[in-house]
A and B are shown apart, each in its own frame.
Chain A
Amino acid sequence: MATKGERILEVRDLVKHFPLTQGIMFKKQIGAIKAVDGVSFDLNRGETLGVVGESGCGKSTLAKVLMALERPTSGSVQINGRDIAKAKGAELKRMRRNIQMVMQDPYTSLNPRMTVGDIVGEPYDIHTEVAPKGDRARKVQELLEVVGLNPDHINRYPHQFSGGQRQRIGIARGLALQPEIIVCDEPVSALDVSIQAQVINLLERLQNEFNLAYIFIAHDLSVVRHISDRVAVMYLGKVVEIGKDVDIYDKPAHPYAQALLSAVPVPDPEGREQRERIILQGDPPSPANPPSGCRFRTRCWKAQEICATEEPLLQIRPGTTHESACHFAETHDVVHVN
């Protein structure tokens, strides 16, 4: 097995704009939803990168572009040095073996008219070179066992399972091709809290067992903190802060990250007393027409003139430990938990 820490995914200046059109017969582009607008990051083998941000900030679009389900407007997604965003046909199909996905909703992500054996075995039907035909049933049963399901249940249908078990089926399907990277698009947000913990722990165990790298998208910060090595905070299609999980959680530098963290529920009543609440005013602006300069300036309490004219770059700012995109970045522990 290759060593941990080797870079396997390089995302550079990724942009995805959805055109807004007008007219029925003759469509005219009148603008674009800037869902993802210049995102760059790296992912190392065996590492987990958490991606957080509120609804509509482009997290799921990012996942789709990484999975080559959407073509990016520009930018590149290099997996082991090859760009999946430009791959086509047989090459794309081969590259898909390396990056797989666990979806958010376990109720719609499994075909209700396929048996569990067919669902988990489908990757082998598509990529026939991975497993010889006689071997597939055994492999499917092994996978079910790995994710903690009864391998005798291959002839059951998805509706006969609970939400958590369905998510395990989805994970088994993602593992079938032995990918190096798994994109988890809010894999636990549709589950009960108790089941969330089981699925998260399963994902962690699988990571150790198979040296997987995760892109873990979520809006629940405590879940992300638990599983991530590094965290990226997104706002309106851009990464505003990225760094090690302890840095982000204990020393957030960007005002948006601080505001997000101040909203995390604290189980300890005493800690709750100490914690400060930053309540943002207004709604996020439309991604079709984002504010000039810094995109967060319309809701930021630190905003000054420079924020409207000059876009802050994602870089390490003086007095902070990791990259953030704010002219007035300064470390501030909002949670106050030791």
Chain B
Amino acid sequence: MSDNPRPDTQTLTADQGTQTPSPPVKHRKKEAKPASLWSDAWHDLRRRPMFIFSLVLIAILVVMSFWPSLFTSIDPLDARTCELSSARQGPSPGHLFGRDNLGCDVFARTIYGAKNSIIIGVATMAITAIIGGLLGLIAGTRGGITDTITSRITEVFFAIPSILGALLITATFRDAGLGIWIVVFALSIIAWPMTFRIMRAAVLTARSQDFVLAARALGAGQSRIMFRHLLPNAIAPVIVVATINLGGFIAAEAALSFLGVGVQSPDISWGLMIADARSRFLEAPLPLVFPAVFLSITVLAFIMLGDAVRDALDPKLR
């Protein structure tokens, strides 16, 4: 792929005429199907084992969330399935993960807890990525007064101490009857400024490059510059941070539950299970370990997915 350097590099006046450096055209007849970044990325993703693997994991987790009875015959919400007398019992046939402090089956609770944890994690990730990303894109692209105003507003949100702020919001709206969505709402309010800042910084870097100027010289409008030129070049760090944050959101939900807001017994979430099992961890580690392992697998699946998407969107890494 080089331009065939000519032997006489001394002078520019030597007429090198209309020689073209491109290799001889081989199959001119072959109908080249026009590709684009997204179609190429999709094409590339389909053959990435990491992408397939993370997708399968996520699919299993989703099925687990919505049809938990496919995985276990025990209904942990039914108090009759718990036996206080066999609390903290180790694994046994029928109770693979053992029993927790109240004698309930850890496996069934882990399966049933997936729903709340995954909804909170994924919904908060999606909301922060979309709101923070979109505002960051607009602020970075337009600059000037728009950027100043949005950045100052973000700083106000940044100033709220995270858990305290989320606690305040959930406590204020706990009677609104929103269930776990109040947790999603609270965590989103706390977390979106981070995505905003990352997106804005990435857009500012991309914006100073010449191809944006070239697009403007062609007469491209603001939305074309934003979505065709800046977004694809600025989205990678947002994807990475959003997927890493997913685990943080599930953990933050646990903290809120622990503090008495958020998901409360008899509802189940992984965070709640981890918080409950903490006090007796030395005697019975398994009730803490199993939900923690599931939490890690979920986070891992999304991080791998994000990684694969990020790599696929960078033509240089294909």
Contacts and interface: CB of A to CB of B under 8 A. Distances in A.
Interface of A: 67, 69, 92-93, 96-97, 100-101, 103-105, 108-115, 117-118, 122-123, 125-127, 137, 141, 148-155, 157, 159-165, 170, 173, 177, 192-198, 200-202, 205, 222-223, 226, 267
Contacts of B9: 192-194, 197
Given A92-B219, A152-B25, A195 B10 contact: no
Contacts of A165: 1, 3, 21-22
Given A137-B34, A141-B32, A153-B22, 4 more contacts: A67-B217, A109-B214, A154-B35, A162-B2
B16 A101 contact: no
Contacts of A150: 22-23, 25
Given A122-B215, A162-B2, A222-B12, A201 B37 contact: no
B81 to A, nearest CB: 53
B177 to A, nearest CB: 44
Nearest 10 A-B pairs (CB), nearest first? A148-B20, A164-B3, A157-B315, A109-B210, A194-B5, A155-B35, A93-B219, A113-B232, A108-B210, A150-B22
A254 to B, nearest CB: 24
Scoring A111, A148, A159, A170 by chain B CB atoms within 10 A of each residue's CB, the highest score goes to A111
A209 to B, nearest CB: 10
Nearest to B14: A197
Contacts of A222: 12
19 contacts: A96-B217, A96-B219, A101-B214, A103-B213, A111-B215, A113-B233, A115-B36, A117-B35, A126-B218, A127-B218, A150-B22, A152-B30, A154-B34, A154-B35, A155-B33, A157-B316, A162-B1, A195-B5, A198-B21
B216 A126 contact: no
A197 B19 CA distance: 11
B28 interface: yes
A255 to B, nearest CB: 27
B210 A160 contact: no
B218 to A, nearest CB: 5
B6 A197 contact: yes
B14 A198 contact: no
B224 interface: yes
A160 B209 CA distance: 19
B174 interface: no
B25 A200 contact: no
B35 A173 contact: no
Nearest to A160: B1
A100 to B, nearest CB: 7
B313 interface: yes
A223 B11 CA distance: 10
For chain B, what secondary structure do more than half of its interface residues adopt (helix, strand, loop), or is it mixed? Answer: loop
A152 B12 contact: no
A203 to B, nearest CB: 12
A161 B213 contact: no
A161 B1 contact: yes
Interface string B170-213: 00000000000000000000000000000000000000011101
A195 B3 contact: yes
B313 A267 contact: no
B3 A103 contact: no
Given A109-B214, A155-B35, A126 B224 contact: yes
A145 B34 CA distance: 16
Contacts of A177: 218
B85 interface: no
A170 B5 CA distance: 20
Contacts of B33: 155
A67 B214 CA distance: 10
Nearest to B236: A113
B72 to A, nearest CB: 45
A206 B25 CA distance: 21
A267 B35 contact: no
B288 to A, nearest CB: 44
A60 to B, nearest CB: 11
Nearest to A109: B210
A173 B214 contact: yes
Contacts of A157: 315-316
B129 to A, nearest CB: 19
Contacts of A223: 12
Residue with the highest number of chain B CB atoms closer than 10 Å, among A159, A193, A205, A226: A193
